[in-house]
């Protein structure tokens, strides 16, 4: 019995190692540029073992893509649907937590952008994206503040797009921004830390303008 348990633990460890390598390679290179061999080499296994666990690159990619998008959406759902926090506080939480999240995994924005552009219908069918956003406490609070005249822009999508764009765009354009400003990695990270405080200020000003 003890031997059987050991084998199960070994199998789980191997599977997790393959997924970790696939996540890193897919996030960095995307689906088309990634070879099964790339993932196997990163995980320190042979291709036959990878196929034994996940059958194909396509199947493994679907798993990684859904897990990545789910992590992003889960964070968003937690922030947008917290009825106890104000709209201003939600902006602070999104800016701070997503900047930290992307700084740890800087390849995620490009990976997600490609999937959103190429597989929109599939994502909408597999993940509750529409429900999380449109039925959120965030949108409800926005409508209430518009009704009270505290926010001039009546469309909450502008609010959401502005907030996410201010967080994500610098990471997408990071190589260009660093090149034209002659900024190194350390200085760029410091710049992103500054944005945690600045983004809520900018969003508040934009939504009250007009």
pTM reported for the whole predicted model: 0.81
In this predicted structure, what is the pLDDT of residue 95?
Answer: 94
Torsion over CA: 51, 55, 60, 66 (sign): negative
Q: Give domain status of residue 18, yes or no.
A: yes
Q: Give domain status of residue 50, yes or no.
A: yes
Range of the domain at 42: 1-55
Q: Give domain status of residue 193, yes or no.
A: yes
Q: Give domain status of residue 118, yes or no.
A: yes
Q: Assess whether 28 and 122 both reside in one domain.
A: no
In this predicted structure, what is the pLDDT of residue 8?
Answer: 35
- Which residues, other chains included, contact 123 with Cβ-Cβ below 8 Å and sequence gap of 6+? 69, 115, 116, 129
Q: Give domain status of residue 172, yes or no.
A: yes
- Consecutive 10-residue runs of the chain (210 residues): their mean pLDDT? 41 88 94 94 95 94 92 88 92 94 91 87 86 90 93 90 94 94 94 96 83
In this predicted structure, what is the pLDDT of residue 100?
Answer: 95
Number of independent structural domains in the chain: 2
| Nearest alpha-carbon partner for 74 in 92, 51, 97 | 97
Q: Assess whether 86 and 168 both reside in one domain.
A: yes
Q: What is the CATH classification number for the domain harbouring 20?
A: 1.10.10.60
Q: Give domain status of residue 48, yes or no.
A: yes
Alpha-carbon span 115 to 41, nearest angstrom: 25
In this predicted structure, what is the pLDDT of residue 11?
Answer: 59
Q: Assess whether 45 and 73 both reside in one domain.
A: no
Q: What is the CATH classification number for the domain harbouring 102?
A: 1.10.357
Q: Give domain status of residue 60, yes or no.
A: no
């Amino acid at each position: 019995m003890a031997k059987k348990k050991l084998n199960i633990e070994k199998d789980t460890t191997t599977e997790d190692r393959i997924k970790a390598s696939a996540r890193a390679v897919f996030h960095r290179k995307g689906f088309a540029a990634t070879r099964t061999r790339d993932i196997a080499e990163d995980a320190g296994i042979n291709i036959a073992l990878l196929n034994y666990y996940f059958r194909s690159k396509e199947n493994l990619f679907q798993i990684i893509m859904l897990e990545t998008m789910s992590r992003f959406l889960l964070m968003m759902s937690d922030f947008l649907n917290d009825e106890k926090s104000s709209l201003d506080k939600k902006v602070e939480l999104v800016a701070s937590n997503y900047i930290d999240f992307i700084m740890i995994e800087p390849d995620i924005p490009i990976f997600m952008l490609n999937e959103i552009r190429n597989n929109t219908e599939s994502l909408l069918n597999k993940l509750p994206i529409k429900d999380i956003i449109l039925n959120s406490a965030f949108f409800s609070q926005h409508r209430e503040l518009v009704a009270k005249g505290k926010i001039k822009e009546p469309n909450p999508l502008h609010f959401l797009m502005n907030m996410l764009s201010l967080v994500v765009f610098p990471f997408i354009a990071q190589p260009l921004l660093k090149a034209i400003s002659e900024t190194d990695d350390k200085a760029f990270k410091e710049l992103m830390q500054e944005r945690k405080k600045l983004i809520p200020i900018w969003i508040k000003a934009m939504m009250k303008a007009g």
